[in-house]
Each structure stands twice: as C-alpha cells, then as structure tokens.
Amino acid sequence: MNYNLKIKLLHNEAILPKQANKGDAGLDVFSSEEKVIQPGEAELIGTGISLELPEGTEAQVRPRSGLALKHSVTVLNSPGTIDEGYRGEIKIILINHGKTAFKVEKHMRIAQMVIAPVPKVEITVVEELSNSKRGEKGFGSSGLK
Ligand SMILES: O=c1ccn([C@H]2C[C@H](O)[C@@H](COP(=O)(O)OP(=O)(O)OP(=O)(O)O)O2)c(=O)[nH]1
Ligand SMILES: [Mg+2]
C-alpha cells in the first residue's frame, strides 16, 4: 500500500522522521530538545513535527529496541496512538526504567512511528454472541509452555 504522509516542521530544531533502511517498518522520530530523564521518571519530549495522516490511517509510536536494551528507556504508552485528525505537535512519552539518569540529546532518535490502516468499525449491540472453540477460556487456559 502506498500512502502520502504530510509532515510540517514546526521550528528550526525539527528533523524529518526517516527510515534507517529502505523497507524498515518504522520511521525514526527525532527529539527536538534536550532533556534529562531521572531513573523511574517519565518525560514528554518534543519532536517539532506535526502530521496530516492519510485518511483511514493512524500512526503508532513504538520504542526503539536499542534504547530499551542499552539504557532501559522505552515509550511509556507504547504503542502511542496518533489520530488521523491530530494536528498538534507529536510528543513522545519516554520512561527511564534504568538505575541512572538518561540524557535525551537534541536530534537523538527516540522512538519510531509506524503508519497503519484503521478499519472502519460499526457497532451492533446483540443479545447473544456466536459459539467458538475457545469460548470464555483465556488467561493461560491452553497451558503456559
Ligand atoms: O504518544 C503520543 C500519544 C498521543 N499523542 C497525541 C496524538 C493523539 O491523537 C493525541 C491523543 O492521544 P490519545 O488518544 O492517546 O490520548 P487521550 O488521553 O485519549 O487524549 P484525547 O482525549 O485527546 O484523545 O495526542 C502524541 O503526540 N504522542
Ligand atoms: Mg484519545
């Protein structure tokens, strides 16, 4: 599927999101500011960009595994949801699960954004749901190994 994503740079410190490699699922998103995240704390980090998403899509804000593995820093609300109609600045909520403070540098790649289709859903209220093999079983009912 081909989508046209419109991106507005809100100021001089903003960097366009980009794929590290052709074909990568995520567009790396850059911080437009410097901020220190103390151990156990979360911070809202500006990116200096706003989007006009293609109709029928969302952007999912996901962590970068390198930041998670090396620094225990991840996206608190992962996957963050960017709604099609949102025109404000994209901000990233990072949490530091590590034992030492983590400095977000300006122009650091702090997360990645995946553009995904959103199905149109119509809701119907019913008295009965159809039977299925799983039924009401869940939460490890099929075994844990
Ligand atoms: O990581 C995120 C998550 C959300 N947003 C922006 C875009 C999104 O469209 C809007 C609302 O996000 P969400 O629906 O997750 O938050 P909410 O708590 O439900 O707020 P609202 O009542 O505004 O929908 O905030 C971000 O910039 N970064
Ligand atoms: Mg919401």
Domain harbouring 22, CATH code = 2.70.40.10
pLDDT at residue 36, as a whole number: 99
Residue 122 lies in a domain: no
Smallest-distance ligand from the CA of 45: 1
Q: Let me know: does 111 contact 136? Beta carbons within 8 Å.
A: no
pLDDT at residue 100, as a whole number: 98
Q: Let me know: does 18 contact 28? Beta carbons within 8 Å.
A: yes
Smallest-distance ligand from the CA of 86: 1
Amino acid identity, position 110 = I
Please provide the distance, in angstroms rounded to a whole number, between the alpha carbons at the two ends of the chain: 37
Q: Let me know: does 75 contact 62? Beta carbons within 8 Å.
A: yes
* Whether residue 87 has its Cβ less than 6 Å from ligand 1: no
Q: Let me know: does 95 contact 61? Beta carbons within 8 Å.
A: no
Smallest-distance ligand from the CA of 83: 1
Residue 141 lies in a domain: no
Q: How many domains, in total, are found in the chain?
A: 1
Residue 23 lies in a domain: yes
Strand partners, 51: 7
Residue 125 lies in a domain: no
pLDDT at residue 1, as a whole number: 84
Q: Cis link prior to 79 (omega < 30° from 0)?
A: yes
Cβ neighbours of residue 31 under 8 Å, at least 6 residues apart?
45, 46, 47, 92, 104, 105, 106, 107, 108, 109, 110
Q: What's the domain range around 31?
A: 6-117
Q: ipTM value, please give it.
A: 0.99
Q: Cα(81) to centroid of ligand 1, in Å?
A: 6
pLDDT at residue 41, as a whole number: 98
Shortest-distance atom of ligand 1 to CA 85: 9
What is the C-alpha to C-alpha distance for residues 27 and 78, in angstroms, rounded to an integer? 15
- Extract the tokens encoding 141: 């009912």
Minimum CA distance residue for ligand 1 atom 13: 81
Residue 28 lies in a domain: yes
Q: Cα(83) to centroid of ligand 1, in Å?
A: 7
* Whether residue 67 has its Cβ less than 6 Å from ligand 1: no
* Whether residue 63 has its Cβ less than 6 Å from ligand 1: no
Residue 129 lies in a domain: no
pLDDT at residue 23, as a whole number: 95
Residue 142 lies in a domain: no
Residue 19 lies in a domain: yes
Per-residue pLDDT of the chain (145 residues; tens, 9 = 90+): 899 999 999 999 999 999 999 999 999 999 999 999 999 999 999 999 999 999 999 999 999 999 999 999 999 999 999 999 999 999 999 999 999 999 999 999 999 999 999 999 999 999 999 999 999 999 999 998 9
